[in-house]
Amino acid sequence: MSLYLGLDFGTSGARSLVLDRSGTIHFQANYPFTNCSSVAEWQTALMSLIEQIPQPLRSQICAIAIDGTSSTVLLCNSDGQPVAEPILYNDARAIVVLDQVRAIVPPNHTVLSATSSFAKLIWSSQQPDFSSVRYFLHQADWLAFLLHGQLGISDYHNSLKLGYDVERLCYPDWIEALPFRDLLPRVVAPGTPIAEIDSTIADQVGLPRNCIVCAGTTDSIAAFLASGVKTPGEAVTSLGSTLVLKLVSQTRVEDSRYGIYSHRLGDLWLVGGASNTGGAVLRHFFSDAELADLSQQIPVHQESPLNYYPLLRPGDRFPVNDPHLLPWLEPRPDDRGAFLHGLLESIARIEAEGYRLLQSSGANELKRVYTAGGGAVNQPWSVIRERHLKVPVRRSRQTEAAYGTAQLAMPSSNLIPKLTA
């Protein structure tokens, strides 16, 4: 049997998942990080996750893909050794070079943020150890290198925030003109077979020598891919700590005012936006058990009159772009069920407003919403959301990023609609 291995490097740990072509999961495992910025620990996690796979399954793995957190980057020397600690996805040290970034890139470009890979590149270029750097890589690129031994290769999901032009499939002129342009990776489509695994590594970890290592993706796109959604008008809402919307569209939409940007999905686009509201606010007031219990008692067909903007701290970008927007959680009824009803109803209103904004900005008309994240289990909430969204709301069958990444490793999995060109 041919098996496919997906490795997901998320914010708090790494996971593995072994899949066959029919979508059956044969094995999965977890590796929680003690220090998520230690490349030594990433490497240990990678090898340990592979070695945990029972040998009879391991020997049947014919392809591997890896996803990593978007905009987690590292600078490597000519041997692929990191010359400094990686700069993590949420590290905003590059805020000090944002004016310089603004002077290089076109107005309102996606990379105009202190946490973008491009801003991190500009910041890094001004550090003393930069002269020894030969490769600027994303987390997923570097981890794949550990397996296939090829340096300087990335995919167009990880490279979006580096400024790669995912429409024309090339680096734009303003990147080509950089004096350190040579450090940037060659970019291929996610899932592209790169090379057979290095034979020494293969023997060391018990993988077949002809196992192919494929180009990866980012952790959030991998979680989207797991849902299997790929038809224009279908969307995935992630109800995790925050509220993240992703809508499959024939049109690309970019609007940095609202943090709306599009990932390429073959010949389609994945238009997304993220709000700071979501499960973190629910968790602030309710335990998960209480959420499950109280939700069952909510009269879901009745609209709650409570109209909140649930935030833990001021500021949101999507669908309301106001860095000073105040959390709005008043009036608070004594009845905790009524309070929860108001919160769920208000988050559902914000979600619906988000999809309206994506559509009015040019994305396809919303037809169906799948749900991932901790809130996906809440059936009463789905009924409330369906009332606002006015389209069917379903739970995603699969939500594990590692599942999407394992699928990415399958040849002609049709996961990413093929380029028609």
Stretch that binds ligand ADP, among 158-166, 266-274, 279-287, 325-333 (CB under 6 A): 279-287
- How far is residue 170's CA from residue 292's CA, in Å, rounded to a whole number? 48
What is the nearest approach in angstroms of ligand ADP to the Cβ of residue 242? 6
Indicate the residue among 111 and 329 with the shorter CB distance to ligand ADP.
329
Stretch that binds ligand ADP, among 32-40, 63-71, 262-270, 283-291 (CB under 6 A): 283-291
Sole residue written with tokens 């797991």: 226
Indicate the residue among 65 and 294 with the shorter CB distance to ligand ADP.
294
What is the chain's length? 421
What is the nearest approach in angstroms of ligand ADP to the Cβ of residue 313? 15
Q: Does 375 bind ligand ADP (CB under 6 A)?
A: yes
The token pair that represents 217 in the structure block: 């993706």
Indicate the residue among 190 and 240 with the shorter CB distance to ligand ADP.
240
Using an 8 Å Cβ cutoff, are 267 and 255 in contact? no
Residue 110, amino acid:
T
Indicate the residue among 42 and 381 with the shorter CB distance to ligand ADP.
381
> Which of 157, 207, 211, 213 lies closest to 187, judged by CA?
157
Indicate the residue among 187 and 298 with the shorter CB distance to ligand ADP.
298
What is the nearest approach in angstroms of ligand ADP to the Cβ of residue 307? 19
Indicate the residue among 124 and 396 with the shorter CB distance to ligand ADP.
396
Q: Which residues of 282-308 are buried (b: 16+ CB within 10 A; e: fewer)?
A: beeebeeeebeebbeebebeeebebeb
Show the site string, 284-303: x = touches ligand ADP by CB under 6 A, - = not.
----x--xx--x--------
Q: Does 279 bind ligand ADP (CB under 6 A)?
A: yes
What is the nearest approach in angstroms of ligand ADP to the Cβ of residue 239? 6
The token pair that represents 345 in the structure block: 């109803």
Indicate the residue among 12 and 412 with the shorter CB distance to ligand ADP.
12
Count of other CB atoms within 10 angstroms of residue 397: 12
Stretch that binds ligand ADP, among 65-73, 176-184, 375-383, 411-419 (CB under 6 A): 375-383
Q: Does 28 bind ligand ADP (CB under 6 A)?
A: no
Strand partners, 31: 14
The alpha carbons of the chain give a radius of gyration, in whole angstroms, of: 22
Q: Does 373 bind ligand ADP (CB under 6 A)?
A: yes
- How far is residue 383's CA from residue 362's CA, in Å, rounded to a whole number? 27
Give 245's DSSP letter.
E
Size of the site for ligand ADP (CB under 6 A): 16
- How far is residue 343's CA from residue 290's CA, in Å, rounded to a whole number? 14
Q: Does 282 bind ligand ADP (CB under 6 A)?
A: yes
What is the nearest approach in angstroms of ligand ADP to the Cβ of residue 282? 4
Q: Does 377 bind ligand ADP (CB under 6 A)?
A: yes
The token pair that represents 191 in the structure block: 């899932």
Q: Does 374 bind ligand ADP (CB under 6 A)?
A: yes
Stretch that binds ligand ADP, among 35-43, 182-190, 276-284, 329-337 (CB under 6 A): 276-284
Q: Does 280 bind ligand ADP (CB under 6 A)?
A: yes
- How far is residue 111's CA from residue 100's CA, in Å, rounded to a whole number? 12
266 dihedral zone (left: phi>0; alpha: psi -120 to 50; beta): left
- How far is residue 234's CA from residue 372's CA, in Å, rounded to a whole number? 14
**Whole-number Cα distances in Å, 57 to 25, 26, 135, 214, 406:** 11, 8, 34, 19, 14
What is the nearest approach in angstroms of ligand ADP to the Cβ of residue 31? 16
Residues with Cβ within 8 Å of residue 56, at least 6 apart in sequence: none
Stretch that binds ligand ADP, among 31-39, 173-181, 322-330, 369-377 (CB under 6 A): 369-377
Indicate the residue among 50 and 300 with the shorter CB distance to ligand ADP.
300
> Which of 194, 196, 163, 168 lies closest to 180, judged by CA?
163
Indicate the residue among 86 and 279 with the shorter CB distance to ligand ADP.
279
What is the nearest approach in angstroms of ligand ADP to the Cβ of residue 153? 28
The token pair that represents 189 in the structure block: 């489509």
Backbone angles phi, psi at 174, to 5 degrees: -70, -20
Using an 8 Å Cβ cutoff, are 316 and 351 in contact? no
- Residues numbered 218-257 forming contacts with ligand ADP, rule: CB under 6 A: 240-241
What is the nearest approach in angstroms of ligand ADP to the Cβ of residue 295? 6
Q: Does 336 bind ligand ADP (CB under 6 A)?
A: no
Binding positions for ligand ADP, rule: CB under 6 A: 240-241, 279-280, 282-283, 288, 291-292, 295, 373-375, 377-378, 381
